[in-house]
A and B are shown apart, each in its own frame.
Chain A
């Protein structure tokens, strides 16, 4: 455990020391969305014409689209004209000046997570001199990586320095017209990460963006594009933590992964956006589109997610399995407590021969939380010998929460095989008492049982993330039993 914390700490400290400071831009764009706003964003970012055209195309498409209503989540209508789509970092006047002004409950949570003090300040949105975002953390190792030909930089930088790669792959996995939120993202996304692993290169370290702190009271739209060229291998980690606010904040990100022949991409997320308070006030609307394309033969894309935050999660990281023998995986833990709602799952589309996919989903509901697994497995006509295995387990804590499972299946090739298993369990009062009789507190007992339930997913996470994920579950479930 200690190693994990020190590694985060070192990373953050390093970054701090290096002093990557987000440009303090005094300009703000008024709330609302229009072609002018998009032109302005693109102009501020000094983008080449193809980017502006793509954004405008997406915007025009978005205007014709309707917000999806099929998900099992409920929230008041979002006024898209009230969102600020581009804003300078907030002026320091209305932010808390020091930790003394921050909600003590939030601070206790950070303390439990073992987040070092100066990072707690950042998380709480305390004004500090250098507000950094995750992208600059990532750039710490840039030189070392570039020796191998690996490009790992912010999306904005990629647009400036590698426009040919961006133009070639942008929107090839999640098109600008994919869905309402993806189109919105394409029109207005402000930044994100970009990664290219050249042929035959095994990325020697986990690439990670640890904190995506959004100091702005705005919508948050980041876009990530990862390309693994033939025979390459990369593991990417994404951790999210958001400051606590009592208004809902929209987060509509897009992630696109491309794996060419014999390439492997492993994408892990620990999502801990602010979930709202105990009464369900505030929190992030996490409406995210993540998809990977196994374009090459024998390629593999593996998604692992631990979703504990956000007031609403709408997210289906999926795989398009096009290359022969390509493999898609989805390992998920989604936890909803208090009034959180999650509608999450995956989409595995088998197009190529002998493609294989594995889905392991663990949903935990506590408090008034509503947890929906929604998964689609499609075996297309040409996918001879395709195989899928799905396992969806739900765990309920208390009797006011809910778990729902919607597996969709579409099989157009008779030589394929599809297997689905599901279970629902409860943590019993007798189990808790048994643990307590052995000296283990209720909180630790619940944490232990829930972590046991999620073991198969945590196993897929890189070591240091697994430890963090376990702690997060514990913190997120606090007060849910007993």
Chain B
């Protein structure tokens, strides 16, 4: 059976101020797939994730993005989120005064409302949250603390995936979720992500390290360099990169220009 792509990025160009960062990205993601994006620092990986999430710091100057066949770029960030796009931030933001639990409930109910589902009552919400907490092996005390406020680097990253587990997005974008995690946490987080894998969902993982991909095994690996995807392959590409770095590939990028 032929499936329709969940995400289609066609020749996407984006600027921050005068600086062009994305210079023609093409990427198609089908439901059920996991794509890994790798690439040197400053190549535009986070920018791509942020543009997909609707950050207005970036101006899209060309190309198009279809999400479930519809024009994604026309949607507000909260609409994208409500439609099932989740971004696990490279640098999760602290929100003092707002408890993690309250925040998550507001988020979940906004998404449910969009789907025409009723708000979860306190009991159902709590039991769902508890279940995901134990999946992520997180301390329940974190629930009553303010969102990310005073969390350690690793706790913040784990909290992102915990939120993702509760919100169950259709398209998850994970921006360097592995950086800052210790080895045990990496396993737990990967386990949480794998639990979310399913035939209707897709995941795009941005990472620098092959290690994560041992746990979250990708269907495709892409290399982003200077605002373009310069190479794509299967999971063995990540291993190659681990061996020889980006050097060879950047040469390729230059010759391609």
Is B87 a contact of A437 with CB atoms below 8 Å?
Answer: yes
B92: which A residues are within 8 A, CB to CB?
A: 434
13 A/B residue pairs, CB under 8 Å, sorted by A: A428-B93, A433-B77, A436-B77, A437-B53, A437-B89, A440-B103, A440-B107, A440-B110, A441-B110, A444-B106, A448-B106, A449-B98, A452-B98
- A residues less than 8 Å from B99 (CB atoms): 452
Rounded to whole angstroms, the CA-CA distance of A438 and B78 in the bound complex is 7
Extra inter-chain contacts (16) besides given A441-B110, A451-B98, A455-B97, CB under 8 Å: A433-B55, A434-B92, A435-B95, A436-B78, A437-B53, A437-B54, A437-B86, A438-B107, A438-B163, A439-B78, A439-B167, A441-B78, A448-B98, A448-B103, A451-B97, A452-B99
Q: Count of chain B residues with Cβ under 8 Å from any Cβ of A?
A: 31
Residues of A in contact with B, size category? 20 to 34
| Min CB gap A56→B, angstroms | 51
Q: Does B102 contact A (CB under 8 A)?
A: yes
B190 within 8 A of A: no
Determine the distance from Cα of A448 to Cα of B107 in the docked complex, in whole angstroms.
11
CB of A476, distance to nearest CB on chain B (Å):
18
A345 to B163, CA, bound (A): 40
Point out residues on B near A: beta carbons under 8 Å: 53-55, 76-78, 80-82, 86-87, 89, 92-99, 102-104, 106-107, 110-111, 114, 146, 163, 167
Q: Is the CB of B107 within 8 A of A439?
A: yes
Query: Among A438, A442, A444, A452, which residue has its beta carbon within 8 angstroms of that of B81?
Result: A438
**A236 at the binding interface (Cβ < 8 Å):** no
**A439 near B96: Cβ-Cβ < 8 Å:** no
Contact between A449 and B95, CB atoms less than 8 A apart: yes
Determine if A452 and B106 form an interchain contact, defined as CB atoms under 8 angstroms apart.
Answer: no
Residues of A within 8 A of B95 (CB): 431, 434-435, 448-449, 452
A430 CB within 8 Å of chain B: yes
Q: Is A54 an interface residue (CB 8 A)?
A: no
Q: Are B97 and A449 in contact (CB under 8 A)?
A: yes
**Which residue in chain B gives the minimum CB-CB distance to A456?**
B97
List residues of A (414-462) whose CB comes within 8 Å of B's CBs. Answer: 425, 428, 430-431, 433-442, 444, 448-449, 451-453, 455
Instruction: Say how far B54's CB is from chain A's closest CB, in angstroms.
Output: 7
Complex contact B97–A453 (CB within 8 A): yes
How would you classify the secondary structure of chain A's contact residues: helix, strand, loop or mixed?
helix
Q: Closest A-chain residue to B53, C-beta based?
A: A437
Q: Nearest 7 pairs between A and B by C-beta?
A: A452-B97, A439-B110, A438-B107, A439-B81, A434-B93, A436-B77, A452-B98
Distance between Cα atoms of A448 and B99 in the complex (Å): 10
Question: How far apart are the CA atoms of A112 and B124 in the complex, in Å?
Answer: 27
Please measure, in the bound complex, the distance between the C-alpha atom of A314 and the C-alpha atom of B96, giving whole angstroms: 30
Residues of chain B within 8 A (CB-CB) of A444 are 106, 110
Nearest CB on B from A266, distance (A): 24
Nearest-neighbour CB distance to chain A for B75, whole angstroms, equals 11
Q: Which residues of B contact A452 (CB under 8 A)?
A: 95-99, 146
A455 to B103, CA, bound (A): 14
Complex contacts, B76 vs chain A, CB 8 Å? 436
How distant is the Cα of A283 from the Cα of B111 in the complex, in angstroms?
Answer: 38
Q: Please, which residues of chain A bring their CB within 8 A of the CB of B96?
A: 425, 452-453
What is the bound-complex CA distance between A50 and B92, given in angstroms? 67
Q: Pick the contact of B114 from A435, A439, A448, A453 — CB < 8 Å? A: A439
CB pair A437 B81 closer than 8 Å:
yes
Closest to B82 in A: A439
Q: Are A431 and B77 in contact (CB under 8 A)?
A: no
Whether the pair B97, A437 counts as a contact (CB closer than 8 A) is: no
Chain A: which residue is nearest B110 at the CB level? A439
Instruction: Report Cα–Cα, A425/B97, bound state, in Å.
Output: 12
A449 to B147, CA, bound (A): 11
Of the candidates A428, A437, A442, the one having the most CB atoms from chain B within 10 angstroms of its own CB is: A437
A431-B95, A441-B78, A449-B95 given; A436·B89 CB < 8 A = no
A434 partner residues in chain B, CB cutoff 8 A: 89, 92-93, 95
Candidate in B55, B78, B81, B110 with the most chain A CB atoms within 10 angstroms: B78
